[in-house]
Structure 1
Amino acid sequence: MAPTSETLTAERILEATEEVLRRHGPAKATVVDVARALGVSHGSVYRHFRTKAALREAVTKRWLDRTSEALAGIAADSGRAPEARLRDWLAALFEAKRRKAGDDPELFATYMVLTGESGTAVGEHIADLTGQLTAIVAAGVADGSFAAPDPAAAARAVFQATGRFHDPGYFREWELPGADDDFTAVTDLLLQGLRRI
């Protein structure tokens, strides 16, 4: 039986939207396609998301939040040394972005378009990630393993310095020979710098 608007949730709409985007791409996917996939009227979808742009922004945020949530556990693990947390956090970010690009290239291409048109989702995602990095650097300052006078500034610098390994614009380089060695070299250099600031 087709779902009714009473059983329709924002999460179900986002799941269906992701599938529709995968099938049709961002240029051809419509709210009507999403509604059809759910077996409801497009008005039912609009009750949850007032515009097509709001729906696309929400699905982009959901996609980006998956990465943020996976990294949050590493950042918050106060039982581990900050240096190990920072190294693991950067490696997990690189791997998450690489996996998104390699495992589902059609959906990744779709999200490249969506993040380019995103209102606030990308900025919020970057703020969340640099906030997690700030917490790790601040923990290192607190225990004496890092000597960064401004943990937030150091975290932004680390994020920018590692951009080649998480900025989607570089996704074609992520599988090149030597990418892992380059990542390790950059991470080692950054950790050395944090210890000597």
Structure 2
Amino acid sequence: MAPTSETLTAERILEATEEVLRRHGPAKATVVDVARALGVSHGSVYRHFRTKAALREAVTKRWLDRTSGELSGIVAGGSAPEARLRDWLAALFAAKRRKAGDDPELFATYMVLTDEAGTAVGEHITDLTTQLARIIEAGVETGSFTATDPEASARAVFQATGRFHDPCYAREWEQPGVEGEFEAVVELVVRGLHA
């Protein structure tokens, strides 16, 4: 039975949009395609997302939020701040590599969408640097890190490790020796934060 607009949720629309984007790519995917995949009229989709741009922004945010969600558990974890920082950076690198390697078509689609996304990418980066700042603050509180401005330090750490999470470097993530290069950068960052 096809869903009706009463049972249609934003989450179901976003799931269908992701599948449509995977099949058709960002240039050819339309709201009509999403509606067809759900068995509803395109007007039903527009009741949840007023424009195609709003739908694309929401699906991009959902994709980015998955990474933030994975990492938030590490921030709240009970291990020492240095271990949390190492684990967080490793998990970020692993999540980005997984997205690029497991579904290259969808990753390429999201590269296009993130370029056009209004606020989703900026909010994602703010969320990630806020998580880093919380880890650094915990390190300052325990005396393992020294940082007069944990938020500035978090932004610096994020920028210093960009090669291992910025999607523009995705082609390099599978090259031989990249893990060793990642470990060397993380070691340098951690030593720089030590009290």
TM-score, structure 1 normalization? 0.98
How far apart are 1:12 and its partner, in Å?
A: 0.2
1:152-194 superposed Cα distances (whole Å, 9 cap, x missing partner): 1110000000000000000000000110000000000000000
- The residue number in structure 1 matching 2:107 is 108
Give 2:18's aligned residue.
Answer: 18
Query: Could you list the per-position Cα deviations for residues 22-76 of structure 1 after superposition, in whole angstroms to 9, with x for gaps in the alignment?
Result: 0000000000000000000000000000000000000000000000000000011
Question: For 1:171-186, what aligned pairs fall within 5 Å after superposition?
Answer: 171-186=170-185
Partner secondary structure for residue 21 of structure 1: helix
Structure 1 distance, partners of 2:29, 2:173, is: 29
The Cα of 1:149 is off from its aligned counterpart by: 1.1
Give structure 2 stretches of 5+ with no counterpart: none
Aligned twin of 1:168: 167
Percent same amino acid among aligned pairs? 82
Q: How many matched pairs?
A: 195
Distance (whole Å) between structure 2 residues aligned to residue 163 and residue 75 of structure 1: 19
Structure 1 gaps of 5+ residues are: none
Secondary structure at 1:133 match in 2:
helix
Kindly report which structure 2 residues correspond to 1:23-172, keeping only aligned pairs within 5 A, or say none: 23-77=23-77, 79-172=78-171
Once residues 118 and 149 of structure 2 are traced to their aligned partners in structure 1, the CA distance between those partners, rounded to angstroms, is: 29
Question: Per-residue deviation at 1:134?
Answer: 0.1
Query: What secondary structure, in the 3-state scheme, does the structure 2 residue paired with 1:25 have?
Result: helix
How well do the aligned residues superpose, as a CA RMSD in angstroms? 0.5
Amino acid of the structure 2 residue aligned with 1:153:
A
Instruction: Look up the equivalent residue of 1:115 and give its one-letter code.
Output: T
* TM-score normalised by the chain length of structure 2: 0.99
Moved over 6 A (4+): none
